Amino acid sequence: MLKAIQWDADLIRRYDLAGPRYTSYPTAVQFHDDIGPFDLLHALRDSRKAGRPLSLYVHVPFCAHICYYCACNKVITKDRGRALPYLEKLEREIEIISRYIDRNQPIEQLHFGGGTPTFLSHDELRRLMQHLRQHFNLLADDSGDYSIEIDPREADWSTMGLLRELGFNRVSLGVQDLDPEVQRAVNRLQTLEETRAIVEAARTLQFRSVNIDLIYGLPKQTPERFARTVAEIIALQPDRLSLFNYAHLPERFMPQRRISADDLPSPADKLAMLQASIEQLTRAGYRYIGMDHFALPDDELAIAQEEGTLQRNFQGYTTHGHCDLIGLGVSAISQIGDLYSQNDSDITSYQQTLGNGQLATRRGLHCNADDRLRRAVIQQLICHFQLRFADIEQTHGVVFRDYFCALWPELEQLAADGLISLDAQGIEVRPAGRLLVRSLCMLFDRYLNDQVRQRFSRVI
C-alpha cells in the first residue's frame, strides 16, 4: 500500500509553484491552429483499424446561474430554449464522427460535463442518449463507467431516476462549500439538505459511485468553517472526493472579477485548510490518490493505484486511459492515439460550423517521440508516485540518465530536500513529496517556462 502523505510546511512553501495539472502532456496551452477536422478523422480511422475501445466526453455548456469562482467554458442563461439548437448541432457532430469508427468499438466510459448537463430537459436528455446509443456501441449491461456532473440545485429524485434509467451509474456533485456566507460571496446558495437528497437518491437507485467536489481558498472561508464543511461531507460518505485549490485569475476568467481579493483567505489559512482537510479525510478512511483526489479504499481508483493500472486523461484520474477519448460539444477535447484536438470554444461559431455540416475542430497537436516519452514519465509519477527507469528505457529506446542528464542536478536537489528517493533504478516520491508531485512533473515538461507557467494555478 502507498504510504500516507507527510505534511512538511517548509517544503510546501519552497515548492508551491504555479504549473499544469497534467490531464494531458503536452498541455492544452501548446495546442495550435494547424489541426483541423481532417486530422481528427484520420486519427479516428487509425483507431478503428486498431479496434481500440472508446471513451466519450459530452460538453453541455449551459448554466442557469453564474458561480463567481468558475473557470469552465459555459453559457449563463435562464432561457431553456437555447438548449435545443445546441442539441441539434451536437447530434450532427455525433453523426459525422460515428461514420469513422467501427460499431464494434465499445464505449467503456461516458462522461457528461459542463456547464450543467441537467440544464437539458428530461426529454432532451432522453433524446441525446438515444442518439448516442444509435450511433455508438454504448454498453447495455451497466458495465461501462457512465458518469454525469450534477448541480444538486438543478436535480431531484425524478432527475436521478431518469439518469439511472438512461444508463448513468456514476455521479459527480458540485458542492464547493456549505457555509452560507461563503456561498453568498461566490453566488452559489446550496443547502446541505439539497446535496444530501441527491446523494441518498444515488444510493437508493444504485449508482455505483458518488463523487463530491469541494474548493478551498474561496472568499470568506476560514479554517474552522471549512473544517465543518468537510465534516458534513464526510458524513455523506461519498466514494470519491475532490479538494480543489481555488485559483484567483480574474484577468483570465471574467466572473472572478466579482470576487474581492480582500475577502480571500491568506496563504497561511489556505495551507491550514488543506492540512486539516487531509487529516479529516485520512481519519475517515479516505486514501490520497493524488492531485486533490481522495477515494475510499474499495473504490476503483484506489484499487487501480494499488495494482499499478491507474491512468490520467482530460477527465482526471481514470481506469480507462487505454481508451481513445472523443470529445463532443463546444470546447471539447479529444485524445486519439497521438493526436489531441479541440473543438471551437465559441458556441455561436461551433453551432454555425456544424450547421454547415462541418466538424468544429479548431486546434490541437500531434505528439512526437519526445512528447510520448515525457508523457509516460509524467503519467507514472502523477498516478503511482514512482518510476522505474527500465520501463521507460525498454518502451522508448533511450538511456534515461543520458536522455535527462540536464535534469539530474535538479532531481538530486529534490532527493536532498526529501521529496523523492533517487537511485540507479528509478524515482520514488516520498510521503513529503506527494502533495508536490506536480512540481516534480514540471521538471520533465519541455514546454514549461515562466510565461507559460503564469497561465496555471499554484500546486497548493
Distance (Å, whole) CA 38 – CA 55:
20
Confidence class for position 451, pLDDT limits 50, 70, 90: low
Confidence class for position 358, pLDDT limits 50, 70, 90: very high
Residue 292 or residue 325, greater confidence: 325
pLDDT averaged over every residue in the chain = 94
In angstroms, how far is the first alpha carbon of the chain from the final one? 24
Annotated binding-site residue? 113: no
The stretches of 153-222 forming alpha helices (DSSP H) are 157-166, 180-186, 192-204
Residue range 289-295: average pLDDT?
Answer: 90
pLDDT at 10: 86
Residue 453 or residue 151, greater confidence: 151
Tell whether the model's pLDDT for residue 2 goes beyond 60: no
Tell whether the model's pLDDT for residue 412 goes beyond 70: yes
- Which tens digit of pLDDT belongs to each residue from 194-239? 999 999 999 999 999 999 999 999 999 999 999 999 999 999 999 9
Q: From residue 64, give the alpha-carbon distance in Å to each of 16, 79, 115, 352, 366.
A: 35, 8, 9, 23, 37
State the residue for C-alpha cell 515538461: 445
Annotated binding-site residue? 188: yes
Residue range 366-388: average pLDDT?
Answer: 95
pLDDT at 454: 65
- Give the torsion sign (CA, 425, 429, 430, 433): positive
Cα 246 versus chain centre, distance = 15
Q: From residue 94, give the alpha-carbon distance in Å to each of 56, 86, 97, 413.
A: 10, 12, 5, 50
Annotated binding-site residue? 317: no
Distance (Å, whole) CA 275 – CA 156:
34
- Give, to the nearest 10 degrees, the angle between helix 267-283 and helix 223-236: 30
Tell whether the model's pLDDT for residue 130 goes beyond 70: yes
Tell whether the model's pLDDT for residue 449 goes beyond 90: no
Annotated binding-site residue? 285: no
Annotated binding-site residue? 333: yes
Tell whether the model's pLDDT for residue 369 goes beyond 70: yes
Annotated binding-site residue? 279: no
Residue range 321-342: average pLDDT?
Answer: 96
Contact between 336 and 40 under an 8 Å Cβ cutoff? The reply is yes
Residue range 338-352: average pLDDT?
Answer: 97
Annotated binding-site residue? 63: yes
Tell whether the model's pLDDT for residue 3 goes beyond 60: no
Contact between 417 and 13 under an 8 Å Cβ cutoff? The reply is no
pLDDT at 453: 65
Radius of gyration of the chain (CA): 22
State the residue for C-alpha cell 517544503: 11
Annotated binding-site residue? 149: yes
Distance (Å, whole) CA 68 – CA 188:
8
Phi, psi angle pair for 30, to nearest 5°: -85, -5
**What are the cell numbers at 400?**
534515461
**Which residue ranges form the domains of the chain, and what is each CATH number?**
1-26+369-459 (1.10.10.920), 29-326 (3.20.20.70)
3-class SS at 414? helix
- Give the H/E segment covering residue 415: helix 408-416
pLDDT at 292: 87
Tell whether the model's pLDDT for residue 272 goes beyond 50: yes
Tell whether the model's pLDDT for residue 334 goes beyond 70: yes
pLDDT at 314: 82
**What are the cell numbers at 55?**
471513451
pLDDT at 459: 65
Annotated binding-site residue? 375: no
Strand-pair partners of 201: none
Which of 51-55, 96-100, 432-436 is predicted least confidently? 432-436
